[in-house]
């Protein structure tokens, strides 16, 4: 995620690096959010450089000056939230 055109999650903020942070899926392990050596860092209640994201929990994180919200859901759960204004 970042402000670059190649980012799958774009954040239109000059304080965000082109490739600011990474969300990675590990088949055996789950989903992880990590900073991609950005100038200003990625702030989430991280105890390590990479934080495992747990299903059903809401996460607020800051990249540059932008505060974002992220929630991990099962693919099957997406149909239940259809029509909502949220981009979980």
Residue 40's pLDDT is what?
A: 76
pTM over 0.85: no
Q: Where are the alpha helices (DSSP H) in the chain?
A: none
Write the CB contacts of 76 (distance below 8 Å, at least 6 apart in sequence).
none
Q: Are strands 58-63 and 66-71 parallel, antiparallel or unpaired?
A: antiparallel
Q: Which CATH number fits domain 1-75: 2.60.200.20, 3.40.50.2300, 3.10.180.10, 1.10.260.30?
A: 2.60.200.20
Query: How high is the mean pLDDT in each 10-residue block of the chain (88 residues)?
Result: 92 91 86 84 65 83 86 73 49
CB 54 within 8 A of CB 72: yes
pLDDT, tens digit, for every residue of 32-44? Answer: 888 888 887 777 6
Distance CA 63, CA 66 (A): 5
């Amino acid at each position: 995620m970042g402000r670059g055109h190649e980012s799958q999650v774009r954040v239109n903020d000059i304080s965000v690096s082109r490739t600011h942070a990474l969300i990675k899926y590990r088949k055996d392990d789950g989903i992880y959010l990590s900073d991609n050596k950005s100038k200003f860092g990625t702030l989430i209640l991280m105890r390590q450089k990479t934080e495992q994201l747990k299903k059903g929990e809401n996460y607020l994180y800051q990249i540059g000056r932008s505060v974002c919200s992220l929630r991990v859901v099962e693919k099957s759960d997406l149909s239940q939230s259809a029509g909502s204004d949220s981009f979980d």
